[in-house]
Structure formats: structure tokens, C-alpha cells
Amino acid sequence: LLETQQPTSAKEAFRFVKAAEYYRKFIPGFSTIAQPLHQYAPTTKEQRTKKSQATPITLSDDALDAFNKLKRILTNDLVLRIPDQNLPFKIQTDASKIGVGAVLMQTHPNGDLPVAYLSNKFTATQMNWPATEQECYAIVYAIEKWHKYLDGQSFSIETDHKPLLPLNSKQQLNSKCERWRLKLQQYRFTIKYIKGKHNTVADYLSRSPVDNGSNDEDDYIPTKSATTQTDDYMKTKIVAPVITRNYAKRQVAERSDLHSVD
């Protein structure tokens, strides 16, 4: 989050301040701090046009100070918290055309507070994936990134992509998502839908990715589960494809041929 570049358009500036607003009740004087950035909010019909929102801008000195100050606040102990294994974890994820973003949170008595943020750029191949695959990858990437916190814990995923709601309970028609679903079976989680307007932090991070994406988009780093004691069950990094019906029939036929020879 600290490494995200300053906004270069009114749309980017307003998107950032909306993301920061998610934690405004934990930031004393938020309205005063963020005021210089609110000048980029679209208030007229003309300002709401795509052309106007995409017009390059240079932040004023006051707006740049507000941007940097809010980034520091969002990543210090006023907002960002140390993980507490006694509190439930929640992940909000999102994918844009250029990358994924996510925030790991815990539910405190006074509200949800962040434990960690992540953003990751898509490779050229990943940019061409369908939206469902991109959104699914955001979930997989976040869970694996925060494995040390989530392994053995019950947690929830919040996404604004409705087709992924049955990800952990139903076989996926998309082959890539099905492989990922099988890989995530070692975790205990539920998936909930949230509207995009409530997913502002992950949305901002996905549209301002910092880390470079992996060149081998279907790879993953195998992990060892403390709860299931499953080790690196695959020698390769690619999840084994689901066995098709035709493949199974061929296997049976081959076994029958062998028995016939004997």
C-alpha cells in the first residue's frame, strides 16, 4: 500500500479516498485530512463522464500531502493491527483488468480492522482470462499468501463476484476454477457476496497493483497443512487436472486388456 503511486487522474484520486473511508471511524480527523482529495469527486454530470474522469491531473500540494498521510495512517498501528488468533479472520478480494487486490481483516468489537494488504499485477496471459477466472485467482492468491494465518482457522471470503459464491461447495464448470477449488479444500472458509461499493479497499489495490505477477500463471507453491498434515502431495506445481469420464474408461479398458493377456 505504501508503494502505490500517486493518482494521475481524478478517478484514481477519488477511488483512493473512497478506499480510505472504509476505516474512517478509526482515523481521528479523517474528514479534515481527506478534504483536499475530495475536490476530485465527480459532482456534475460532465465530471462523471469517462473522458473527464480519465483526464490526466497533477495533485495539488495539499492533496499530495493528504494522499501520503492517509497511506501512512492505513499502515501504522492506528489502523493496521497485529493478528490475534482468537479473533475471526475475513478476506475481501477483487480483480481488475490489470491485477488483484485483497485485504486481510479481523473482526474486533468495534469493527473490522486490517491485518495485511496485498496487490499483484497480472501477467499478459492473466489479463486475457475471463473475469470469473481473474476473480477466482484473487481468492486463491490471497489465501495462499496468508496461509500462515489461515491454516487451521475458520474464515470468510467476501467478493463482489456472485458466480464464485459456490466455489467451496460445488464443482466448477470452469476447469481452472475447479482445479483451484480442489486445491483450497484444506481450508475452512465461507464465501459471501458484498456490493462493489463496500469492497473499496480491495478494489483500489487491484487497480493500483505493485508486485509483479508470476510468469507461470497456473503455478502455485505447495504448502503443508498443520491440520491435515498433507505434505507436498504433487511433485509438480500445477494442480492435477480432474479425471475425465473418457480418460477413466480408457484406464478400465487398459486394465481389462492386461487381465485378458494373463
CATH number of the structural domain spanning residue 256? 3.10.20.370
Which structural domain range is residue 112 located in?
81-262
Residue predicted with more confidence, 118 or 217: 118
* Dihedral of alpha carbons 165, 168, 169, 170, sign: positive
221 three-state secondary structure: coil
Residue predicted with more confidence, 137 or 240: 137
pLDDT by residue (tens digit) across 154-201? 999 999 999 999 999 899 999 999 999 999 999 999 999 999 989 999
- State which H helix or E strand residue 261 sits in: helix 245-261
Any domain includes 1: no
- The dihedrals phi and psi of 147, each to the nearest 5 degrees, come to -55, -40
pLDDT by residue (tens digit) across 69-93? 999 888 887 788 999 989 999 999 9
Whether residues 174 and 260 share a domain: the answer is: yes
Whether residues 85 and 15 share a domain: the answer is: no
Cell of 244: 475425465
Region 107-117: mean pLDDT is 90
Whether residues 253 and 157 share a domain: the answer is: yes
- Separation CA 146–CA 114 (nearest Å): 13
Whether residues 55 and 104 share a domain: the answer is: no
pLDDT by residue (tens digit) across 12-55? 888 898 898 888 888 878 888 889 998 888 776 665 676 666 77
Cell of 79: 489502523
The total domain count for the chain is 2
Q: Are 210 and 119 in contact (CB under 8 A)?
A: yes
User: Residue 216's closest CA among 234, 232, 238?
Assistant: 238
The residues, any chain, with a CB within 8 Å of residue 35's CB and separated by 6 or more, are 66
